[in-house]
Structure 1
Amino acid sequence: MTPFSYLRAADADTALQLAGVHARHPGAGHPGVEHPAAKYLGGGTNLVDLMRETIERPGTLVDVTGLSDRIAETGDANGNRGLLIGAAVRNTALAEHRLVRQRYPMLSRAIVSGASPQIRNMATVAGNILQRTRCAYFYDRAGSRCNKREPGQGCDAIDGFNRMHAILGASPACVATHPSDLCVALAALDATVHLSGADGERRLPFTELHRLPGDEPGRDTALEPGDLITAVELPALPLAANSAYRKVRDRSSYAFALVSVAAALSVENGTVTDVRLALGGVAHKPWRALTAEQALRGQPATEAAFRAAAAAELAAAQPLRDNGFKIELAQRTIVAVLGELAGHDRTGDGA
C-alpha cells in the first residue's frame, strides 16, 4: 500500500479545505480547483480494498465520517414529506429506519440485499454511492488491460469472461457494471444528491450522477474534482410505499447482482397510473428504465403489458459472449416484480 496522510474533518467546509479544494473566483484569475491526490474516506469498505491493490493511490485520506449521520423529514408548503439522508448515515441504519421501511420499502430491501451485515454496519451512504466496479479485470492490475484503470490500455473483459458484465449502455472502451444495490433504488426513487465543492453547494439529480463509459470509462461520475456528497434527498413519492427490490444472483449471500429490479407501482381500476423502474447488474450505472415506464403508464396492469414494457426496455441490449442470458432474466424479473406489486397471483396475470 502506498504511504498516505490521514486527516479528519468535522464538517463539510473542513473536509473541502483538508482535501485542497478552493472556491473559484470568476474574473480573479483563479486557476480553478486545486486538488492534490486526496480522497474522502467514509466506511472505507471499497476504497481501502482499492488502495491495497494499488488501484487507488491517494496521497491524503480525509475522514468524513464526521458529516451528518441524521435522517430527517423534509416538507413543502403542500404538506408533502420527503427524507434528507446525511452522507455519513450507515447502510444498516438507513435500511432499518422506520420511515424508510414505511415509505420507501424498495430502498430498505435493496440495502439488505447488498454485501454482508458487517459491511453494511460500516459502509456509509455516500461511500456506497461512489463505490467502483467489481470487474475482475479492473482489479487485476498485474495481468489485465483495463481502460478504466489506465486509459487507452484496452479492455480484456470484452473478449474475456464477461458473464457479469453490461448489456446496456456499454462502449468499446468498457463493459463493466455498477455494483451497488442501494443506487438502483435511489435511481428509481428520483433521489437528489446534495454536493459541496469549488462552486459552492449544489444539487444533482441522482440519475445524472453516474456516467456511462463512452470513451472516458475512468470517469465514473459527473462530479468535479474534490466534490463532496453531503446528503441524499428522497422526494415525497406516494407510490413508493408500494415498491419492491428483487436481486437475482448466483448465491443468496454476499454476491453481486446478475440482474436486479427496483420498482414502484400505482394502479387504479386496473390501470397503471404511475410507475418507477430501475435495473442493476446490466449497465455501467444504475439503469433507469424510462422506456418501460413510458410504455406502462395508462396501460392495463396485466402480465402481458408488463412483458411488453420489459421487452421494449431490453430491445437495445447488446450482449457479450457470456451474458446474453441477462436479457431474458431481466425481462422475467421485471414482470415478476411488477406482478407482485400489482397483486397478481402466481397462476394468472391478474387481469
Structure 2
Amino acid sequence: MSATHKTRMLILGSGPAGLSAAIYGARAGMEPILVQGIQPGGQLTTTTDVENYPGFRDVIQGPWLMEEMQAQAEHVGTKLVWDTITHVDLSQRPFRLTGDSGDLYEGDVLVIATGAQAKWLGLDSEEAMKGKGVSACATCDGFFYRGKKVAVIGGGNTAVEEALYLTNHSPDVTLIHRRDSLRAEKILQERLFKNERITVLWNKQVERFVGGGTPEGLVALELKDTHTGALSTLEVEGGFVAIGHHPATELFRGHLALDGDSYITVEPGSTRTSVPGVFACGDVMDKVYRQAVTAAGTGCMAALDAERFLAEAEFEDVAEAAE
C-alpha cells in the first residue's frame, strides 16, 4: 500500500548539501523528510581519501564522512526515506512529489540537492582504476600526486583549469585532447600554452588505463591517434578525466528554470529558484566549485532561505485570516 508523507520541508538528495539542509532544517523545527535517491550519500560515497574537508587533521574516508552526516541529521530530527522521486508537481503548495515506491510526498517547501555526476570515458579499465590513480576532480585529489607525472583528459574549460591547477603539485602535466584545438576560453588557453609544466597531446584518445605495482596503481595510459589509429603509451601516475558533468535535473525540466548546461538557475547570492518555495543547493546548481564543503555551505543557505520563506508565508496567512 502506498502512503502519503507530509512535512514542512522536503529534501531531495543525501549528499553534503541535502544533509546540511536537513540538519539546519531540523534544528529550526521543520521536521524535514529527506528522500535519499539512487545514490545515498552522494558522490563522496565513491571517494576514498578526503583530505580537504575542514575539521579533520588526518585523511578521512568519504563513506565514513557521509555516514556521520547522516547520523547527525537523524539525531536532530530528520526522517530519511529510501525512495527515488519519479514525478513532481510544483504548480502549487504544498508541492507534491511521487516516489518510485508509489508513495506521495508533500512539502510546504522543497530543497533540491540531487547533485551532478562526472562524465566518464566509459572504459572498463577506467572503472577498475578509479581511486587507484584515476579521478574526476583535480581539486579533490591533486594533492596526492605531489611531484608525480599526471595527465588530464579533455579540451574544455574544466580540463584546462584542472591542468593549470595540477601544476601547483606536479612538475609534469600532460593535457590529452582528441581534437587539434581546444574548446576552452581563449584566456585559459593562453595561460595553458604559457605554462612550461604543461604539455599538450593533440588528436589522442585514451584506449586503456594501465595498472601495475603492489598495491595496484595507475602506471600508464594507452593512447590512440584519432587520425592514424597508431597506439602509444604515456607513463603517468595520475589520470584526471575532465570532460564535464551531468546535473541531475531531468526530473525538473519544464518545472524550473535551467541554464544552458541544465543546472538549476538560482537568484544570485541565494538558493531561490524560479518557483517560490523551491530551493536548490549543491552541485545541482553549482558548476564552478563542486566541492563537498561548498555543497554543505549552500545546503545551509537553502535551509535558512526555506525557513525565512515559510515564516513570511505563515505571517501573511495569519494577516489575511485576521482581515
TM-score, normalised to structure 2, is 0.24
Kindly indicate whether structure 1 or structure 2 has the higher relative contact order, using CA contacts under 8 Å at least 6 residues apart: 2
Structure number with larger C-alpha Rg: 2
